Amino acid sequence: MSELRLPLPDLDARTTEMAQDPLPTRIAVASAEAPDAIPDAKLTTRRLCAFYGDFLALRDIDIDVPDGRITAIIGPSGCGKSTLLRTLNHINDMVPGFRATGSITLDGAELNGEARDTLSIRRRVGMLFQRPNPFPMSIFDNVAYGLRLSERLSTSDLHDLVRASLTRVGLFEEVEDRLHRSALSLSGGQQQRVCLARALAVGPDVILMDEPTSALDPIATLRIEALMRELSGEVTILVVTHNMQQAARVSDYSAFMLMGEEGAGELIEFSLTRDLFNQPKDRRTEDYITGRFG
């Protein structure tokens, strides 16, 4: 995060006077203004804990993800951001020894109960990963994959939905003459948009994004960010990013996570993005966003 790099203070010599200093820098918040009142929560957790064997990775995470908005999760590496995303739609259930306790609700319906339908959850809570992960099949079949699993559609309806999904991510005109070629032949940015189209095709309520632009060039990054803003209002987006400028550009709300005792990830602060970056309530949040650590 070179754009935010500041001279680090001598932490051993830190004084009470320093603790009273204002933020040494500010980050311009360029995303669309969000209302002062947080909208109804789409996705909620209460006392959510995650374990890898005996290791506590997340401790008592309580968060209300606002409906139809973009929420960014920031924090240093190892603080549990990705683990939180992967717990929300149960991708981590495939990891040996993983378990989650506490509550996860989507529109008030519990997602962490013993009788959960994991396939249905992943259809409603889609995910975009750090590196594009198109399946080794055609562009068309990538986007149609979830539709074929979840619905019985006529050939014409399937083609219409694939076209609509690719159009939503601004990709159809770029690939319409090669829909039946391998998605792996596309550029990194195009592959990521195929993955986004695949997630959107099944009509998710929430899309989780785990550093979705970290492997992309600046132009592809801006395209993905623009798509996020366009989708805001239609779907709820929860994005993990190490790029605080990106969080400021695209998100309406932001959450700051930090590693607590014994290495467990904890949620430190959640608020409107403009408030978290310009008027953080917790000193640890201020220290992180101003480059004093992390």
- Structure token pair of residue 180: 């039946």
Write down the pLDDT at residue 39: 77
* Contact yes or no for 197/169 (Cβ under 8 A): yes
The answer to whether the Cα torsion of 4, 6, 8, 14 is positive or negative is negative
CATH number for region 41-135+208-289: 3.40.50.300
pLDDT digits (tens, 9 = 90+) for 12-56: 333 333 334 444 445 666 544 444 556 799 999 999 999 999 999
Q: Is the pLDDT of residue 185 over 80?
A: yes
Q: Which of 268, 278, 283, 279 is CA-nearest to residue 61?
A: 268
pLDDT higher at 19 or 217:
217
Q: Is the pLDDT of residue 73 over 70?
A: yes
What whole-number distance in Å separates Cα of residue 94 and Cα of residue 82? 15
Q: Is the pLDDT of residue 209 over 50?
A: yes
Average pLDDT over residues 133-153: 93
Give 31's Cβ-side CA count (13 Å radius): 30
What pairing do the DSSP bridges indicate for beta strands 236-240 and 70-74? parallel
Average pLDDT, the chain: 88
pLDDT digits (tens, 9 = 90+) for 234-285: 999 999 999 999 999 999 999 999 999 889 999 999 999 999 999 999 999 9
